[in-house]
Structure 1
Amino acid sequence: MIRQLTLSVLLTALPAHALSQDRDNTRHSGGEASHWSYELGAGTDNRSKGASKSGNDPYVFGEVQWNAASGFYADLEFETIDSSGSYVETEVEAGWQYSALGFDFDTSASHKWRVGAVAGHDDAAWEYQFDIIKDLGAVDTRLRVEHSPDGLGSTQAWTWVEGRVRFPLADRLKGSATLGRREQDGSPDYTGWNVGAAYALTKITSLDLRWHGTDADDEGRQYEDALVASVVVIF
């Protein structure tokens, strides 16, 4: 049911009103000069949708992105993982950010590969993402829908729907909370969440401390609660 509903939202919303990693994509609105951006970072655990991708161990990640003045963008990413015999996951992504009806939208398609995965494991997958973003004064909100028709490893089709709210706590300090639901074939269905804060150490460097949890602790260590610290540099 959740998959049918969210796919319907995607199909109806994407063509209309085109007027202009829990990691969060940088938002680039149309009209800005075209430019390149770069991102490097590390964390105590690679958490995605509440679950660990690095076996609860530290990881590093990086990204290079081209941002066009029209709002289109493309990027190449990597992150270290520990899954299916692979220790590196790469991704190529293309998307479009635009505004309409008082909202900001971000839609993208990406292709992922797990380098050196054990023979017989599904080491590549297409994923599709759609964000609806709304600023409410100092608070910003986001609804995100992600879907893959055939996921990585043993996971087949899956859908993730999450809501996030982010708010200022102090100068250069922002708090946020995220709640999401993942339904998938070949792997457990679960609800995931995180709450934490990010501090802008410098103009290009941010520190993040966040508590991640799921309701699927009995499915393995990757679903257990964890406090995760990370640092990211964007330039």
Structure 2
Amino acid sequence: MRPVLPVLTALLSAATPALAQDRDNARYSADATSHWSFEFGAGTDNRSKGTSKTDDAPYVFGEVQWNAASGFYADAEFETINSSGSRVETELEAGWQFSAVGLDFDTSLSRKWRLDADPGQDDDAWEYQFDILRDFGPVDTRLRLEHSPDGLGSTRATTWVEARLRWPLADRLRASATLGRREQDNAPDYTGWNAGVAWSVTDTTALDLRWHGTDAKDLGSQYEDALVASILLAF
């Protein structure tokens, strides 16, 4: 049995008040003030763009971010992985949130590193991300574009386009569904998706239960369907 429940229990017991949410919940506002934010969490599998980065094993992650009143932000992140011989991936990111023509935007540039990767594996990469966000009543939507001119590991240029819908089910409980397409040089092209629910247990702690899948299951275990549980603590 995986040691997931003890990890989640320990994290829950360490929770202190703050707001657990991903960045696009706190969109740019003219009334915003500059502040620091911190996030820590764990999950039963590290899923990115539908595929596993930990070979269906638990992982932990953390982030520290500076948010300026102008909408600019910068952050440093880490997450545990099992890829290219590396067990830890780190990232530095800088971006800008702004509003125009009735839409919200989030654009960023990041640099990623895989620590102690196997010789011959590409252990660093640049990645550009651009989000367009719009609310329709209680439903919020996001269209995301991510591109790297030379990805991590053996992957060369890669592009990911994703659409997400998210809506409330009850107080502190929301459902969401995501569908994306990944085109890659020197790696498989595939479609990935996920659907699930997120529960804000307290002002500091959120739990997420989500089903991930791709149309490339025959390419290996990392592309197979999986039910993933995770916890996020934000300060």
Do Structure 1 and Structure 2 share a fold, with TM-score over 0.5?
yes
Q: 1:130-158 CA deviation, whole Å, 9 max, x = no partner? A: 00000111110000000000000010001
Q: Tell me the equivalent position of 1:115.
A: 115
Distance 2:203 2:29 in 1: 22
1:118-133 alignment, distance < 5 Å: 118-133=118-133
Runs of 4+ in 1 over 6 A off after TM superposition: none
Is the contact made by 1:30 and 1:97 (CA closer than 8 Å) also made in structure 2?
no
Distance 1:64 1:74 in 2: 9
Is the contact made by 2:42 and 2:58 (CA closer than 8 Å) also made in structure 1?
yes
Distance 1:25 1:191 in 2: 24
Counterpart of 1:224, as a letter, is: E
Q: Tell me the equivalent position of 2:63.
A: 63
Per the TM alignment, residue 30 of structure 1 is displaced from its structure 2 partner at its CA by: 3.9
Q: Tell me the equivalent position of 1:159.
A: 159
Q: 1:204-223 CA deviation, whole Å, 9 max, x = no partner? A: 11000000000000111000
> Alignment partner of 1:218: what SS?
helix
Is the contact made by 1:46 and 1:56 (CA closer than 8 Å) also made in structure 2?
yes
| Structure-2-length-normalised TM-score | 0.89
Is the contact made by 2:91 and 2:111 (CA closer than 8 Å) also made in structure 1?
yes
Per the TM alignment, residue 24 of structure 1 is displaced from its structure 2 partner at its CA by: 4.3
* Length, aligned pairs only: 213
Q: Tell me the equivalent position of 1:25.
A: 23
Counterpart of 2:23, as a letter, is: N
Counterpart of 1:29, as a letter, is: Y
Is the contact made by 1:166 and 1:175 (CA closer than 8 Å) also made in structure 2?
yes
Which stretch of the first structure deviates more once superposed, 90-99 or 30-39?
30-39
Distance 1:192 1:145 in 2: 14
Counterpart of 1:173, as a letter, is: L
The sequence identity of aligned pairs, in percent, is 71
> Alignment partner of 1:222: what SS?
helix
Structure 1 vs Structure 2 CA RMSD: 1.0
Distance 1:167 1:59 in 2: 27
Q: Tell me the equivalent position of 2:103.
A: 103
**Structure 2 gap segments, 5+ residues each:** 1-20
Counterpart of 1:57, as a letter, is: A
**Structure 1 gap segments, 5+ residues each:** 1-22
Per the TM alignment, residue 170 of structure 1 is displaced from its structure 2 partner at its CA by: 0.9
Distance 2:159 2:226 in 1: 23
Is the contact made by 1:28 and 1:67 (CA closer than 8 Å) also made in structure 2?
no
> Alignment partner of 2:114: what SS?
strand
Per the TM alignment, residue 55 of structure 1 is displaced from its structure 2 partner at its CA by: 1.0
Counterpart of 1:78, as a letter, is: F
Is the contact made by 2:27 and 2:104 (CA closer than 8 Å) also made in structure 1?
no
Q: 1:54-102 CA deviation, whole Å, 9 max, x = no partner? A: 1110000000000000000000000000001100000000000000111
